[in-house]
Amino acid sequence: MSKVSIALPEGFILGAAASAWQTEGWSGKKTGQDSYLDLWYQRDRQVWHDGYGPAVATDFYNRYREDVALMKQVGLTHYRTSINWSRFMLDYENGVVDEEYAGYIDNLIDEMLRQGIEPMLCLEHYELPAVLFEKYQGWSSKQVVEWFVQYAAAVFARYAGRVKRWFTFNEPIVVQTRVYLDAVRYPYEQNTHTWMQWNHHKNLATAKVVQLFRAQGYHRQGGSIGVILNPEVTYPRSSAPHDVDAARIYDLFYNRVFLDPAIKGEYPPELVALLEKHQVRWDYTDEELTIIRNNTVDEVGINLYYPHRVKAPSRAWNSATPFHPAYYYEHFELPGRRMNKSRGWEINPRIIYDMAQRLRLEYGNIPWFVAENGMGIENESQFKDADGVVQDDYRIAFIVEHLYWTLRARQEGANCQGYMLWAFTDNVSPMNAFKNRYGLIEIDLEHDRQRRPKKSADWFRRVRDAGVLEFERDDENK
Ligand code: BG6
């Protein structure tokens, strides 16, 4: 064993994240203010683990003061969440703000600032208003892009003086991939054209919001505007050209489709050619591409949980199946891989270092940070000690390894500004609900959602106070 000690750089973010819909609950929500998630939950309650969903979530809407006090106790420098678009407005088309919900956000921001925790806010973490989903098929519509920009303008006008770091979307690829590409979520429609249309309109929405942010002069007040993406670090099974091609094409469809427009201002020509080859129809104009080109983001948050591995396909494609990027790849399971069995995700902390290198070499070393990383564990109460505190040594070990690779990348020149854990408290996930627990703070569903710090919360506080990550490492060459 040898001791590793690595200092957190000055100003390094050591925070945690969550989202509005996964924590707030429906208290105070008015008729007509459902989000896409609320709609899906109402229609399809049986697919949500144990019936839990966004209805109560962690009741953050009523208990945020208690939670902000816990953030301070745990030592978070920053906390990221979203504003719930579906609740911020009473009328999405005419831009009528719900003063009651907006007042709650005012109070939340003030409380965080009072406790010395810097807020980072996302304009959408899947909370597309259900009405816009049903009437206009959501992001299929160019009009919805305009209403999103109108919503962003109202949000900035109200809060940009107090909140400096803004993000348009969290993981903008997720909803349409699950709904329109894989057809595993309500309303279960496989339609590759719609999938690509949503991708494009979300890229356009980011660029238009960046344009607005600049035009309104928020940068001069110390503000910045970015997007939170979830590129999957994708490794080919082997170095053979067919496997390498499979990984490259996977990367184009799932990673570069958002990374490139956001950071470089354009779609990869190879992706555009593949979409054309497979007759995927998406409606875009030269003017829209120019807006994307001229309005790239200031920084990106990157959500990193697991490596993805692919190999070249070994089966023939059924020509009756609509085009799906899986035409070019199959998933590959590495023999001997380490697993988080609760979530079914491989664990490989080097993904952070590899992503850092990529952002340095291929994306102009843009400022970025790990926006989410964490470990969801099922049936976590089995790890409670006699005092009822979850002894989550596995989570501490997971964070240690991932934070280590983050800091090492930074030492070697990555422009990485910080590390944020998913999540601050346990919370509701799409379908998995409260099955896998991610938090530093337990939410006890059996006792009125009582909050109880886990062992990792205390450990997190100590790292923050010491300003250094220290651990014993197994010597590699045994
Ligand atoms: C991220 C999302 O992809 O992963 C979160 O931004 C989500 O909303 C988190 O909760 C963990 O994934 P899951 O499915 O285990 O909740």
pLDDT for the residue numbered 473? 86
pLDDT for the residue numbered 160? 97
> Do the beta carbons of residue 29 and residue 37 sit within 8 Å?
no
The residue to which tokens 């919001």 are assigned: 209
Three-state secondary-structure class, residue 414: coil
CB of 417 sitting under 6 A from ligand 1? no
Could you tell me which residues come within 8 angstroms of residue 319 by beta carbon, excluding any fewer than 6 positions away?
none
Judge whether residue 476 has pLDDT over 80: no
Mean pLDDT score, 331-344:
95
Atom of ligand 1 nearest to the CA of 19: 8
pLDDT bucket at 321, cuts 50 / 70 / 90: confident
Three-state secondary-structure class, residue 368: strand
Angle between helices 60-74 and 99-114 (to 10 degrees): 10
CB of 376 sitting under 6 A from ligand 1? yes
CB of 54 sitting under 6 A from ligand 1? no
Q: How far apart are CA 258 and CA 167, in angstroms?
A: 14
- Tens-place pLDDT, residues 441-471: 999 999 999 999 999 999 999 999 999 999 9
Q: How far is CA 171 from CA 106, 177, 372, in A?
A: 25, 11, 11
Angle at 130 between CA 128 and CA 133, to 5 degrees: 80
CB of 342 sitting under 6 A from ligand 1? no
Q: How far apart are CA 378 and CA 50, in angstroms?
A: 13
Judge whether residue 478 has pLDDT over 90: no
Strand partners, 405: none
Tell me, rounded to whole angstroms, the distance of Cα 317 from its chain centroid.
32
Handedness of CA 275, 278, 283, 285 (dihedral sign): positive
Q: Where are the alpha helices (DSSP H) in 12-161?
A: 20-23, 36-43, 60-74, 85-88, 99-114, 130-136, 142-159
**What's the gap in Å between 429 CA and the centre of ligand 1?**
6
The closest of 225, 246, 83 to 154, measured between CA atoms, is 83
Which one of the listed residues 124, 372, 380, 442 is annotated catalytic? 372
Q: How far apart are CA 128 and CA 125, in angstroms?
A: 8
Residue type, 56: V
Largest CA distance in the chain: 66
**What's the gap in Å between 319 CA and the centre of ligand 1?**
33
CB of 301 sitting under 6 A from ligand 1? no
- Tens-place pLDDT, residues 136-171: 999 999 999 999 999 999 999 999 999 999 999 999
- Tens-place pLDDT, residues 74-118: 999 999 999 999 999 999 999 999 999 999 999 999 999 999 999
372 flagged as catalytic: yes
pTM of the model: 0.97
**What's the gap in Å between 93 CA and the centre of ligand 1?**
29
By most ligand atoms within 8 Å of CB, the mutation choice from 174, 372, 421, 428 for ligand 1 is 372
> Do the beta carbons of residue 206 and residue 148 sit within 8 Å?
no
- Tens-place pLDDT, residues 383-413: 999 999 999 999 999 999 999 999 999 999 9
CB of 170 sitting under 6 A from ligand 1? yes
- The top-level CATH class assigned to 2-473 is alpha beta
Q: How far apart are CA 171 and CA 107, in angstroms?
A: 26
- Tens-place pLDDT, residues 46-84: 999 999 999 999 999 999 999 999 999 999 999 999 999
Which one of the listed residues 111, 127, 171, 288 is annotated catalytic? 171
Could you tell me which residues come within 8 angstroms of residue 71 by beta carbon, excluding any fewer than 6 positions away?
16, 79, 112, 115, 117, 424
Atom of ligand 1 nearest to the CA of 376: 15
Q: How far apart are CA 273 and CA 288, in angstroms?
A: 18
Mean pLDDT score, 360-377:
98
Tell me, rounded to whole angstroms, the distance of Cα 96 from its chain centroid.
27
Instruction: HSE, CB side, 13 Å, CA atoms: give it for residue 380.
Output: 30
**What's the gap in Å between 438 CA and the centre of ligand 1?**
9
Nearest Cα residue to atom 10 of ligand 1: 429
Mean pLDDT score, 361-372:
98
Mean pLDDT for the chain?
97
Mean pLDDT score, 287-314:
97
Tokens of 467: 């300003």
Tokens of 50: 């144990």
Nearest Cα residue to atom 12 of ligand 1: 429
Residue 430 or 478, more confident: 430
Atom of ligand 1 nearest to the CA of 427: 10
By most ligand atoms within 8 Å of CB, the mutation choice from 35, 84, 178, 422 for ligand 1 is 422
Judge whether residue 340 has pLDDT over 80: yes
By most ligand atoms within 8 Å of CB, the mutation choice from 429, 431, 432, 438 for ligand 1 is 429
pLDDT for the residue numbered 1? 84
Angle at 462 between CA 60 and CA 408, to 5 degrees: 100
SS3 content of the chain, % helix, strand, coil (to 5): 45, 20, 35
pLDDT for the residue numbered 315? 86
Angle at 119 between CA 115 and CA 121, to 5 degrees: 155
Q: How far is CA 289 from CA 215, 241, 274, 278, 395, in A?
A: 19, 32, 18, 21, 43
pLDDT for the residue numbered 469? 98
Judge whether residue 439 has pLDDT over 90: yes
CB of 115 sitting under 6 A from ligand 1? no
**What's the gap in Å between 22 CA and the centre of ligand 1?**
10
**What's the gap in Å between 19 CA and the centre of ligand 1?**
10
